[in-house]
Amino acid sequence: MGMRKGILALVVLAFVPAFGCGGDPDDPSESFPSKYSPVTDKDWRMVQAANPEEFVVLAPKKGERAPTIRFEDGEALFFTGCRDGSASVEFSGPAETREGVYGLVKADFGIPELEGEPCSGSAGRFEHMFLKLFVDESLVSIRNEYLNLVDGVGGPYGFLFTDRADPVPDEIPTIDSLDDRTFRSVAVSGAKPVADRPMTLSFTNGAMKQEVHGKLDDLLGPADTKGSLDASGGCNSMSGNFRITDGILEKGGIGFTTQVGCPAREVALDEWFDRFLSRGVRIRTAGHQLLLSNERGQKVEMTDSHPAVVGTDWKLDGVISPDQSHWSALPVSAEVRFLFASDGTVQFTTGCNTATAEADVSADSIRFDSISVGDEVCRRQAMGLEHKILGVLSSDPEIDFDGETFNLKGNRYGLEMSIRDSST
């Protein structure tokens, strides 16, 4: 089964069955009959573009304007990632109805009209993929809160959109909700972290001793109202107790607990992060996101997921035995790859079939859901490898990640992966 088939299996897993109710599809007074109201008159923002033939998933970079599309009055109004444009569109369908699948409709686009000059770089690449959708009929569906737009005739391209704004951390966390979580910076306002050396912040429920490494923690109050934290601006570590009062994180004054010799820039970042935390910062969370800010307009946006796991093309090097005593290489003809997308989906191959799933990547484990695997029957050795891979994925495997290697440890077997050389 090809990768395109695997992607479509994910796209059509579960749709909101609202397409099938209300409206007269032959009523000329309606540009879009009401049966298509879940799609129309909404501003859809792209969160992912996929070209499964090349095993590539693209997502807009932070700060870039994402491609968008809106269906209104018989037109598709869109931004390709480079230019604004429009095209006529006519819906028909549902195009496919079977058990568990309903609401997949066809979108027949007219010739798109574009404004301005074409772009280069990532914006031009998004536009190239986007315009492929207008060549022939495309398939439109809603799955949970996402709109899927897939070239349904012959091309491999697909887009995933949402009509929701980017989630903004607005929940005041508790010491319990932060317990045993490690966050890494993804964006900093007020300082410039060194590339590949993110700021980190780890929380533990329960205060440490008032005196650590001969230094006194000056954060006063009962021990059961405090937790402990470890932080780093990219080089040395600092530790201390903390508490959260009315949404403000207060850190005690134990200070640095390591004194590694670092370049002057990294030392300055450590000191900046220490001052930032010690003066009291507003703390908010949303899912895997954490936002720290102060009255000076300085901000540190962090996540406790593995950003380096997402967007990287991983290849399986070998399978680790249940007792961790030995490692076995893959069959010569087998290639197993994993590609995690920013929207929580993952494409992978098993050495026999192509597959898709949903993945919730946390700091130390991954939970895989909605695993959809092709139906090819392969040789016994390849089928055995597929069985082991799916066994690991279904066991909520632990992560062992060091930036270059990425291992998944299941209840029985483990998978050892490394970054795939794009030239191969």
Name the domain boundary from 130, 162, 194: 162
Residue 242: inside a domain, yes or no? Answer: yes
DSSP one-letter code for 310: B
Confidence class for position 247, pLDDT limits 50, 70, 90: very high
Residue 345: inside a domain, yes or no? Answer: yes
Q: In b/e form, how buried is each residue of 119-147, taking b as 16+ CB within 10 angstroms?
A: beeebebbbbbbbbbbeebbbbbbbeebb
Q: Which residue has the higher pLDDT, 173 or 50?
A: 173
Quick one: average pLDDT of 279-296?
A: 90
Average pLDDT, the chain: 75
pLDDT at 112: 92
* 258 and 342 part of one domain: no
Q: Which residue has the higher pLDDT, 33 or 41?
A: 41
pTM beyond 0.85, yes or no = no
pLDDT at 232: 87
How many helices (H) and strands (E) the chain has is answered by 5, 30
The domain total for the chain is 3
Weakest-pLDDT range from 57-66, 106-115, 313-322, 364-373: 57-66
Name the domain boundary from 237, 272, 303: 303
* 79 and 214 part of one domain: no
Q: Report d(CA 43, CA 161) in Å as an integer.
A: 9
pLDDT at 256: 57
Dig out the tokens for 308 from the structure: 């380096």
Quick one: average pLDDT of 94-114?
A: 66
Quick one: average pLDDT of 325-329?
A: 69
Residue 308: inside a domain, yes or no? Answer: no
Weakest-pLDDT range from 66-70, 301-305, 313-317: 301-305
The residue type of 246 is D
Q: Residue 272 belongs to what H/E stretch?
A: helix 264-278
Q: Which tens digit of pLDDT belongs to each residue from 227-243?
A: 888 888 888 888 888 88
* 179 and 290 part of one domain: yes
Residue 341: inside a domain, yes or no? Answer: yes
Whether the pLDDT of residue 174 is over 80: the answer is yes
pLDDT at 169: 81
Confidence class for position 143, pLDDT limits 50, 70, 90: low
Quick one: average pLDDT of 22-43?
A: 59
* 256 and 327 part of one domain: no
The residue type of 91 is F
Residue 401: inside a domain, yes or no? Answer: yes
* 299 and 259 part of one domain: yes
Answer whether 168's CB lies under 8 Å from 286's CB.
Answer: yes
Give the side-chain half-sphere CA count within 13 A for 401.
20
* 260 and 331 part of one domain: no
> If you average pLDDT over each of 3-12, 101-110, 235-244, which comes out highest?
235-244
Whether the pLDDT of residue 176 is over 70: the answer is yes
* 351 and 252 part of one domain: no
* 147 and 183 part of one domain: no
Quick one: average pLDDT of 134-142?
A: 76
Quick one: average pLDDT of 245-264?
A: 75
Residue 243: inside a domain, yes or no? Answer: yes
Residue 170: inside a domain, yes or no? Answer: no
pLDDT at 113: 93
pLDDT at 398: 84
Kindly report the backbone phi and psi dihedral angles of residue 10, in degrees, each rounded to the nearest multiple of 5, phi listed first.
Answer: -70, -40
Whether the pLDDT of residue 204 is over 80: the answer is yes
* 29 and 64 part of one domain: yes
Residue 167: inside a domain, yes or no? Answer: no
pLDDT at 423: 46
Q: Which domain holds residue 24?
A: 3-162
Query: Taking the alpha carbons of 104, 38, 89, 124 in that order, is the dihedral positive or negative?
Result: negative
* 287 and 321 part of one domain: no
Q: Report d(CA 357, CA 7) in Å as an integer.
A: 10
Whether the pLDDT of residue 338 is over 60: the answer is yes
Quick one: average pLDDT of 340-366?
A: 80
Quick one: average pLDDT of 88-108?
A: 64
Counting other chains too, the contacts that 274-281 makes at CB distance below 8 Å and 24 or more residues apart are: 274/231, 274/233, 274/238, 276/190, 276/191, 276/300, 277/231, 277/249, 277/251, 278/251, 278/253, 280/248, 280/249, 280/250, 281/248, 281/249
Please report, for the domain that includes residue 237, its CATH number: 2.40.128.270
Query: Taking the alpha carbons of 396, 397, 399, 404 in that order, is the dihedral positive or negative?
Result: negative
Name the domain boundary from 254, 270, 303: 303
Neighbours of 332 (CB within 10 A): 6
Confidence class for position 16, pLDDT limits 50, 70, 90: very low
* 241 and 326 part of one domain: no
pLDDT at 11: 33
* 362 and 275 part of one domain: no
Q: 295: which residues sit within 8 A by CB, 6+ positions away?
A: none
Q: Which residue has the higher pLDDT, 284 or 420?
A: 284
Rg for the chain, CA atoms, rounded: 25
Q: Which residue has the higher pLDDT, 207 or 46?
A: 46
